[in-house]
Structure 1
Amino acid sequence: MIVVVAGSSGLIGTALVARLRAEGHEVRRLVRRAPRNPDERTWDPDAGVLDPAVLAGSDAVVNLAGAGVGDKRLTPARKQVVLQSRTRTTGLIARTIAALDDPPRVLLQGSATGAYGYRGDTRVTEEEPYGTSYLAEVVRQWEAAAAPAVADPRVRVAFLRTGIVLAPSGGALGRLLPLIELGLGGPLGSGRQYWSWISLEDEVRAILHLLEAPVSGPVNLTAEPATELEIVRALAARAHRPAMLPVPGFALRIALGQFSEEILGSLRVVPAALTASGFAHAHPTPEAAAQYVLG
């Protein structure tokens, strides 16, 4: 296949591009600077510039572009960056696809489990409506920006509602793993809140699966949810370290501001559509993920 990837330099995008190439697919990477490699194509989402020829002749587009929600404190200005980095890229890609005479047949559009807000212990499937949290509103506008492609009967659009990605380096564990390996890891807040998580390996495998599987609409990219404490304990056990020292919720709120809601809020999202499509996780449990993350 010829696959166009936006957001190819992030944690998921980097791993995805490597896997696509390893499996023999041709990749076109969208970059916001002058091309440095033969597989790169320039675009400018802020200016609304994307040459239709970049998408023409491709089989699929995977859009993972967007500023990190937890990378910086969520000031009003940063919130605008987070939102616009998603809606502008998604809208530009969707409009360009819909205007093509022969568009790619698949758009896998990045999204997040934050769409549902915080639901406590309730098991949440793709049938649930949007929540009312900050991130839920971001996701609502993010997914809405894909409307031109969704309305095109020639294109299958799936929204990759990704959970917390567990990887050997970077991502959600980038700051937590060093503490765990020093024996300083422990529950964040009560530790009883559910985390909707997936290993990086399974995230990439799921995206490749969805390039072919006839699935449209929201798709929860998660494994079976676990509590934050279960995940931390699995990682600590694999590292042969204790997981005793709790981090109080008020300390997280001081350190992380509004983003602490994403750490302390409980969201139990299950991969109903992904499982129904025939996907099998390589790392279905926190223990399996810990072995993957920590070798």
Structure 2
Amino acid sequence: MDTTRKTVVVAGSSGFVGSALVPRLRRRGYDVRTLVRRPVKAPGEITWDPGAGQLPSEALDGARAVVNLAGVGVGDHRWTDAYREQILRSRVDSTTLLSERLAAAVSADRAPTEAVLVQASAIGAYGDQGDTVLTESSPLGEGFLADVVRAWEAAAEPARAAGLRVARLRTGIVLAPSGGALGRLLPLVKAGVAGPMGSGDQFWSWISLEDEIRAILHIMESDLEGPVNLTAPAPSRNADLTRALGDAFGRPTKIKVPAFALKIALGEFSSELLGSQRVHPEVLEQAGFEFTHPTIHAAARWVAEGRPAQTSPTV
């Protein structure tokens, strides 16, 4: 995709991934519009309310790509019935609205026919499948998050049915020097009081924030569509991932966290930490994508260096 004067609309731009993606897009020459749920404060911002189905008619005009990263954090709060509904609705409502509006904009010649919807998703789609290697062609699993992902991905159907390219980003655990999945774990690692969760044998499929951003750009600027696993090629067992982080910071990681303690502290969400997902990025590899951090040791060193993705080399 020629990036000259191309417009990209980003939803979820203030989130963990979105806040790293937007500056990278601008450095690559894109005209970026961001959808926000508050009054506009800066050029390029557009106020929307997906829950109420509100999006200005001109918001997607001329958009070559819409990147939808909207959705509340699955681990931000205990999974009460109300928060489970918020997890689902924040994803499905935003995706439905953007998918329908992008299809309409293209149909009315207000957006180019080559427009793409780059839609967030998650490896939670696969559920707990032990040591089974999971690719994009693997069957979806069971559980709350698997059900959420089914509805989330289905909400992008209006765009796909209109003939638009739709890429679904089945993202794993995103590692970064601050925030994200490591936001609570890193302080424990740095203090030397971290360790395996449960047995520690469960596979955690992860990706560095740097590679997450690079992969999104690669997908947006290529012809990839359908589900794409955004995970590093070498998933790690939980104990190995924790040990790699400890080694990178020069700290021990021998304090185990029993499964029952996680269940007491986190409730149903603990199943996501104790479950095993051995995911392989088959589509990205076949497309020639090269990871900056292909192993957990490389990613852990990058995390320990504290270098944000926004200042890393461009793709």
Which range, TM-score by smaller chain? Answer: over 0.9
Q: Does 1:221 align with 2:230?
A: yes
Write the distance in 2 (CA, Å) between the matches of 1:150 and 1:262.
Answer: 30
- CA offsets per residue over residues 85-129 of structure 1, 9 Å max, x none? 000000000010111123351110000000011110000000012
TM-score under structure 2 length normalisation: 0.92
Q: Does 1:15 align with 2:20?
A: yes
- Deviation of 1:52 after TM superposition, in Å, equals 2.6
Q: How does 1:201-220 map to 2 (within 5 A)?
A: 201-220=210-229
- Deviation of 1:276 after TM superposition, in Å, equals 0.9
1:39 pairs with one of 44, 52, 62: 44
Q: How does 1:52-131 map to 2 (within 5 A)?
A: 52-100=57-105, 101-102=108-109, 103=111, 105-131=115-141
Which amino acid in structure 1 is aligned with residue 80 of structure 2? T
Write the distance in 2 (CA, Å) between the matches of 1:97 and 1:3.
Answer: 12
1:149 corresponding residue in structure 2: 159
2:53 pairs with one of 48, 51, 54: 48
Write the distance in 1 (CA, Å) between the matches of 2:279 and 2:54.
Answer: 36
What residue ranges of structure 1 are gaps of 5+ in the alignment?
A: none
1:4 pairs with one of 9, 12, 16: 9
- Deviation of 1:51 after TM superposition, in Å, equals 1.6
SS of 2:17's equivalent in the other structure is: helix
Which amino acid in structure 1 is aligned with residue 51 of structure 2? D
Tell me how many residue pairs correspond in the alignment: 294
SS of 1:109's equivalent in the other structure is: strand
What residue ranges of structure 2 are gaps of 5+ in the alignment?
A: 1-5, 306-315
1:200 pairs with one of 187, 204, 209: 209
- Deviation of 1:274 after TM superposition, in Å, equals 1.0
2:311 corresponding residue in structure 1: none
1:187 pairs with one of 196, 221, 225: 196
Write the distance in 2 (CA, Å) between the matches of 1:220 and 1:131.
Answer: 15
Write the distance in 1 (CA, Å) between the matches of 2:86 and 2:176.
Answer: 25
Write the distance in 1 (CA, Å) between the matches of 2:57 and 2:273.
Answer: 40
Percent of aligned pairs sharing the same letter: 58
2:185 pairs with one of 162, 169, 176: 176
- CA offsets per residue over residues 9-29 of structure 1, 9 Å max, x none? 011000000111122211100
SS of 1:59's equivalent in the other structure is: strand
Q: Does 1:256 align with 2:269?
A: no
TM-score under structure 1 length normalisation: 0.98
Write the distance in 2 (CA, Å) between the matches of 1:247 and 1:176.
Answer: 12
SS of 2:63's equivalent in the other structure is: coil
Which amino acid in structure 2 is aligned with residue 156 of structure 1? R
Compute the RMSD of aligned alpha carbons: 0.8
Q: Does 1:133 align with 2:138?
A: no
SS of 2:193's equivalent in the other structure is: coil
Write the distance in 2 (CA, Å) between the matches of 1:52 and 1:144.
Answer: 23
SS of 1:140's equivalent in the other structure is: helix
Write the distance in 2 (CA, Å) between the matches of 1:25 and 1:145.
Answer: 26
Question: Please, which moves more after superposition, 103-112 or 115-124?
Answer: 103-112
In the TM superposition, structure 1's runs of 4+ consecutive aligned residues that sit over 3 Å from their partners are: none
Which amino acid in structure 2 is aligned with residue 195 of structure 1? W
- Deviation of 1:68 after TM superposition, in Å, equals 0.7
- CA offsets per residue over residues 31-60 of structure 1, 9 Å max, x none? 012111011011111110112311011110
